């Protein structure tokens, strides 16, 4: 029977930073898509894009708080 791998948190902050970067990129792409296709999108589609970006912003805020906690824990 294999032992579980130890919990390696040494690169947590870096992984979260990468996630933030990807999330920001997705937000920008969604905004660009909405601008480029605004005439073709329904109001419901536009609202869904905006709501998803709001959830992305909340996620980023949460990740930034986790990064602060992670840095403080490493000190």
Query: What pLDDT digit, counting tens, does each position of 11-67 carry?
Result: 888 999 999 999 999 999 999 999 999 999 999 999 999 999 999 999 999 999 999
Decide: pTM greater than 0.85: no
| Contacts of range 26-34, beta carbons closer than 8 Å, 24 or more positions apart | 26/56, 27/53, 27/56, 27/57
For residue 22, the SS3 value is: helix
| pLDDT given for residue 10 in this prediction | 72
Domain ranges for the chain, please list them: 33-75
Which are the contacts of 18, defined by CB distance < 8 A and separation ≥ 6?
none
Helix, strand, coil percentages, rounded to 5, for the chain: 75, 0, 25
């Amino acid at each position: 029977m294999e032992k579980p791998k130890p919990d390696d948190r040494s690169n947590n902050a870096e992984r979260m930073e990468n996630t933030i970067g990807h999330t920001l990129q997705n937000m920008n792409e969604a905004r660009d898509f909405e601008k480029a296709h605004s005439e073709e999108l329904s109001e419901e589609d536009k609202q869904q894009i905006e709501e998803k970006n709001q959830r992305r912003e909340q996620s980023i805020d949460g990740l930034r708080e986790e990064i602060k906690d992670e840095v403080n824990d490493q000190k």
